[in-house]
Amino acid sequence: MRTVFIGAGSMAEAMISGSIANGALSHTDIYVTNRSDSARLEQLKEQYQIHIGYDLEEMFKASQVIVLAMKPKDAKRALEQVQPYLSSSSLIISLLAGVTIDFIEREIDTPCAVIRAMPNTSAAVGKSATAIALNSQVTNEQKTEALALFSSIGLTKVVQEEQLDAVTGLSGSGPAYIYYVAEAMEKAAEALGLEKEVAKPLIIQTLLGAAEMLSVTDGKAEQLRKAVTSPGGTTEAGIGLLEERKVKEALTDCILEAAAQSKRLGLPYQQSAKQKCEL
């Protein structure tokens, strides 16, 4: 499956690394280009033995899948460059936050399959939580190929496109929330006099253990939390302070705000598509 990545950032690399390691793609079928950073392309070529370059005709010739992995602001330019090489059998996979399927379809003006995806940075270690949304042109075979590609970097769920803003707020930005909690744990450990080499493994294992408990039990997070909160115990004392300071409400609002920002980022693309339609 000849696949072209437009953009060579961390998410593109995570997908390249994961797909090769898990056999979803062969390194000989992967082509990567970007706007101008040839040193970055050379780095990827050396590490993964893939094809790189700026010859668009050669790059897109006979390509089956095109992955949009550049910055969202560069989407229009990239789609204009890609458009001459598209056919009805092409599959475009977009990793661009806020850039709607409708915008992509209107810019390319070619009936073909489009998939919008929202992975997260844990793709770098094969643990992404990815949601994908499909347009009506996606065939069962293309859906299977996309699921295999994203499953090579973690868990994948198919959603409706309108749910992607919620996914962005929840799991797209989610790793940062966990790192934020880890930062607080590190700060507390330091204040309590624990050396970093002692505290960090304990924090990591605590987070891993809690995640594993959530994955293997049917109960809600609330039930697991209550199960370890003994009356008059240390956990109750700590949770009591979190409740007093409304940390749960703050985290909930944090996710809602991230989802709202995702929606706001998409407004220019929705407006652009609307204006083009009116013309």
**Contact yes or no for 31/2 (Cβ under 8 A):** yes
* pLDDT value at 218 more than 90: no
Q: How confident is the model at residue 121 (pLDDT cuts 50, 70, 90)?
A: confident
Q: Percent of the chain beyond pLDDT 90?
A: 82
Q: Average pLDDT for residues 24-51, to the nearest whole number?
A: 95
pLDDT digits (tens, 9 = 90+) for 236-268: 999 999 999 999 999 999 999 999 999 998 888
Does the domain at 172-257 match CATH 2.60.40.2310? Answer given as no
The domain segmentation of the chain, as residue ranges, is: 3-164, 172-257
Calculate the average pLDDT of the chain: 93
Q: Is 110 exposed, middle or buried, given 0-12, 13-18 or 19+ CB atoms closer than 10 A?
A: middle
* pLDDT value at 51 more than 80: yes
Q: How confident is the model at residue 274 (pLDDT cuts 50, 70, 90)?
A: low
Determine the residue type at 252: T
**Domain 3-164: which topology?**
Rossmann fold (3.40.50)
Q: Average pLDDT for residues 184-196, to the nearest whole number?
A: 98
Q: How confident is the model at residue 276 (pLDDT cuts 50, 70, 90)?
A: low
Terminal CA-to-CA distance of the chain, rounded, Å? 37
As a whole number of angstroms, the distance between CA 16 and CA 6 comes to: 12
**Whole-structure pTM value:** 0.87
The reported pLDDT for the residue numbered 271 is 61
